[in-house]
Amino acid sequence: MTTMTAPVSDAELGAIQAAKIVDARGSACPGPLLEAKKAMNTIQIGQTIEIWSSDPGTKGDVSAWSAKVGHTYLGTVPGEGYERTFVVRQK
């Protein structure tokens, strides 16, 4: 179970083994957010989802959403042509 809280270094983020990967590459706003929300309901509190997105707005969107609903946004690191965003389920 992930117990990290923000801030988390890029190296630490890159090493996270997420409980679920959400592949939202190619999905336009608000698709990645909606897919993240669905995925959050499939993992346990304290576990982490990793969202893959090619939409440049996803990082800010997921960060704001996490703060709004009470999850922990850990950060975002670049992938191969997309971004990897990590969020810990908190409720």
Q: Which is nearer to another protein, 9 or 90 (CB)?
A: 90
For another protein, the binding residues (CB under 8 A) are 27-31, 33-34, 37, 61, 65, 68-69
Alpha-carbon Rg for the chain in angstroms? 11
The position carrying tokens 């990590």 is: 86
The 3-state DSSP class for residue 72 equals strand
Shortest distance, position 33 Cβ to another protein, whole Å: 5
Is 87 part of the annotated catalytic residue set?
A: no
**CA angle (58, 11, 63) in 5-degree steps:** 25
- From the candidates 6, 21, 28, 29, give the one annotated as an active-site residue: 29
Active site residues: 29
